[in-house]
Amino acid sequence: MSFKKLNLTFMVLFVGFFVITILLHYTQTVKHIHTIMIDNLRESVSDMKFDIKAILNNQDTINLKAYLDRQKAGSRMIKEIYVVKEDGTLLRTSDYLYEKNYFKEENTISLRQLNTDNISNIDLLRSDIKVIDHDNIVHYSMYVKMDKKYITNSVQQRIGVQIIYPLLFFIGVVIFYLLYIKNLIMKPIMIVDDFLRGIVQRIPKFYIREFNHLSQNLQNNLKELKELAYFDTLTGVYNRKAIEEILKKKIIEAKKNKHPFAVVMIDLDHFKKVNDNYGHDIGDLLLKEIAKVLQSEIRTLDHIGRLGGDEFLIIIDTINNVDIFLKLQKLIAKFKEPFHIEGNDIIIGMSIGGVMYPEDGNDVITLLKNVDIAMYQAKHEGRNRVVFFSIELGKKIQSEIELEKEIRYAFEHNEFSLKYQPIIDISSGKVVAVEALIRWEHPVKGTIYPTEFIPFVEKGCCVKEIGVWVFDRACKQQKEWSKNGIDVNMSINLSVKHMHATNFYDVMNAIIKKYDVDIKKISLEITEYTLMQYRETTMAMLNKMQHDGMTFRLDDFGTGYSSLTYLKDTPISSIKIDKSFIDGITPDKKPVHLLNAIINLSHAIDVTTIAEGVEEAYQVEYLKEIGCDMIQGYYYSKALDGKAFESYYQSRESDKEKSIE
């Protein structure tokens, strides 16, 4: 086949390929746009469902109308919103022209049935809402009427925008081909082809020079493409794709030669602060310098790559664990010296995880997973250190994964319960408050105390859901006790992550209104860490809730910052002195000077004191002598369920009345 025919064939294939690509692109674009719409719609409807449930729990149907109007105005895909009771009665709607007493379904599907095939055709979207009203479940349905015309027009407009760019690209390719490739590249090649076939007797000098220039440009472009494909453009080390390919080859080679090697993952500590404080330009320059240092510290037979962001991967050949560990420790020591970047002295640490082949994995996925686990363990242990993967570490991570699954299952299947530990006024002996304490009634392991699972929950596993559940159950119990003549303050532990949720304040208020609880009878317990590490946002929220009448207690005082001076400017009304101080009290009641000072200083700034973990009579006597206000601990009672606490409360009240008589 002549070169001219080959050129024509190429053009036909190119045009055919482009047409097929446009058709596939059109199909995928429509599906992608529908998917985005569905995701947005699901998120919007789910948020509405959550908010409507809170409003219905509060029985605030007047505000429900205004809320529906706002949601309707805020979404162009939604025409109207209806909230209907289970008997078909229309409760509220955003449709001002709606006059019927009962709602009838027409072309309605549920939120779960929504997909890319039916989004353009549905009329009404339904989502069911369950509301607990005085321990009874009331079913409501929310119907969202869709604006099909807007959806269709929106899809068409977006498709037009998505298709125009490939068309413009195709036109540009054709013009480029006609003006440049055909005349300056293809024509010289066709002349050389004709010369080799004997059609022409000689090649003009111009085309010889052009052909040599084209060859040189092609070699330069191939070199640039290779660098882009295998090297990180910022640091010059291997990129993620390249270092993973090298690791694959290394595994194949090691299997043949029975040759071990190590994989090390490096993550820079607090690199985000560098970007935030100095800017991303300085951060990029710092990454370049760090890459140079790492390259200077490894041997030529080792390989280094940047995985992305501030993570690097190093493949180290033929060294045992001890030697690698010492080498990496020296690397950490070297990084204690500041980097001089644009007049700034920047000190940055690194967390390093390591694995050995084949002990810690014999494939790329396993090695990368385990080295990542080791690196995050290094961060967890305090950063700026080296941790090698071990079987025990792997089991620990696996147990945490299993624990997360169990916690989620327990929450969904009502395995959690609340117990209430009495807090006693030391002067009168009266029960004045309780602390709500969560318990996990595991069907196999029995009762699991919060110290075993709450730290894991605090990392993010159901923290918001469990926090709302605890607050809801505690408020409900407090209201029941109040009806039965039991007048106590309910103290509830608060997670920092729960408190900083976007709708925390609104959800708490909705629960308080739902049970009609006296907010002055609710106290929230926060830790010193929460108060100091998130001082600005925490103080804003505490002041807002204090204005409503809620009180706050500082939990585990003495285990953290242990400073009373900052309490003067906070709405903290009580501090709970940690058990470690109480354990310092001896039977001979020798002075515990630090404990005395805490109580005296607290009273000086009008803060009451609660001693935690009191177990002995001599501890009670000493605390009474030095002026402690309240006591909590096993000396008086362990944590009790709701009914048991009622009996305990009534028993103490009865004993008190007898003693007065």
How far apart, in whole angstroms, are the C-alpha atoms of residue 540 and residue 552?
13
Structural domain tally of the chain?
3
Question: What average pLDDT does the segment 80-88 reach?
Answer: 79
Q: Which CATH number does the domain housing residue 341 bear?
A: 3.30.70.270
Residue 178's pLDDT is 58
* CA-to-CA separations, 65 to 44, 52, 80, 512, 531, in angstroms, rounded: 17, 10, 12, 22, 38
Q: Which of the listed residues 116, 136, 154 is the one where a domain comes to its end?
A: 154
pLDDT tier at 113, thresholds 50, 70, 90: confident
Where residue 445 falls (left for φ over 0; alpha for ψ -120 to 50; beta otherwise) is: alpha
pTM over 0.85: no
Contact criterion met (CB below 8 Å) for 263 and 314: yes
Residue 384 within a domain: yes
**Are residue 433 and residue 532 in the same domain, yes or no?**
yes
3-state secondary structure of 9: helix
Q: What is the pLDDT of residues 563-594, one digit of tens each?
A: 666 677 788 899 999 998 999 999 988 888 88
Q: What are phi and psi of 648, to 5 degrees?
A: -60, -45
Instruction: Check whether residue 343 and residue 439 sit in a common domain.
Output: no
The answer to whether 583 and 563 are in contact (CB under 8 A) is no
* Average pLDDT over every residue of 102-108: 59
Residues 384 and 430 in one domain: no
> For residue 498, what pLDDT band results from cuts at 50, 70 and 90?
confident
* DSSP three-state, residue 144: strand
- Span 105-124, mean pLDDT? 71
Residue 217 lies in a domain: no
Bond from prior residue into 358 cis (ω within 30 degrees of 0): yes
- Report how far residue 99's alpha carbon sits from residue 89's, in angstroms, rounded to the nearest whole number: 12
Same domain, yes or no: 520 and 555: yes
Mean pLDDT (whole number) for 305-309: 91
d(CA 298, CA 303): 8
> What number is the average pLDDT over the span 280-301?
91
Tally Cβ neighbours within 10 Å of residue 232.
Answer: 22
Structural domain contains residue 246: yes
Residue 462 confidence (pLDDT):
82
Is residue 46 one of the residues assigned to a domain? yes
Residue 109's domain comprises: 7-154
pLDDT in tens, 206-263: 555 555 665 566 566 666 666 667 889 899 899 999 999 999 999 999 999 888 899 9
Q: What is the pLDDT of residue 105?
A: 58
Angle at 278 between CA 274 and CA 281, to 5 degrees: 95
Residue at a domain's end among 154, 176, 197: 154
Rounded distance between C-alpha atoms, residue 457 and residue 379, angstroms: 19
Q: Is residue 488 within 8 Å of 434, Cβ to Cβ?
A: yes
Percent of the chain whose pLDDT exceeds 70 = 80
Same domain, 259 and 349: yes
Q: Say if residue 351 is in the same domain as residue 451.
A: no
Q: Residue 188 above 70 pLDDT?
A: no
Say if residue 375 is in the same domain as residue 413.
Answer: no
Average pLDDT over residues 278-307: 91
How many helices and strands in the chain, by DSSP H and E? 21, 21
Q: pLDDT digit string (tens) for 8-62? A: 676 677 667 767 777 776 777 777 777 777 777 778 888 888 888 887 777 766 7
Q: Assess whether pLDDT exceeds 80 at residue 287.
A: yes
Confidence band (pLDDT; 50, 70, 90) for 205?
Answer: low
Q: Check: CB of residue 521 under 8 Å from CB of residue 478.
A: yes
Q: Are residues 423 and 353 in the same domain?
A: no
Say which residue, 195 or 536, is predicted with more confidence: 536
- The pairing of strands 311-317 and 124-133 is unpaired
The reply to whether 406 and 372 lie within a common domain is no
Q: How confident is the model at residue 298 (pLDDT cuts 50, 70, 90)?
A: confident
Q: Which residue has the higher pLDDT, 138 or 349?
A: 349
pLDDT above 90: percentage of residues in the chain = 37
Which of 133-137, 222-226, 652-656 has maximum average pLDDT? 652-656
Q: Give yes or no for a contact between 488 and 481, defined as CB atoms under 8 angstroms apart.
A: yes
Task: Give yes or no: residues 67 and 95 share one domain.
Answer: yes
Residue 160 lies in a domain: no
> 3-state class of 33 per DSSP?
helix
Tell me how far apart the alpha carbons of residues 360 and 373 are, in angstroms, rounded to a whole number.
Answer: 11
Q: What is the pLDDT of residue 144?
A: 83
State the average pLDDT over residues 366-372. Answer: 94
Mark whether 135 and 269 lie in a shared domain.
Answer: no
- DSSP class of residue 102 equals B
DSSP 186: I
Task: Tell me, yes or no, whether 342 lies in a domain.
Answer: yes
CATH number (domain holding residue 117): 3.30.450
Give domain status of residue 522, yes or no: yes
CATH of the domain at 504: 3.20.20.450
Residues 46, 76 within the same domain: yes
Q: Please identify, among 154, 189, 215, the residue that sits at the C-terminal boundary of a domain.
A: 154
Say if 186 falls within a structural domain: no
Neighbours of 544 (CB within 10 A): 12
Per-residue pLDDT at 194 exceeds 70: no
Among 99-113, 123-137, 274-288, which range has the highest average pLDDT?
274-288
Sorting pLDDT into bands at 50, 70 and 90, what band is 192?
Answer: low
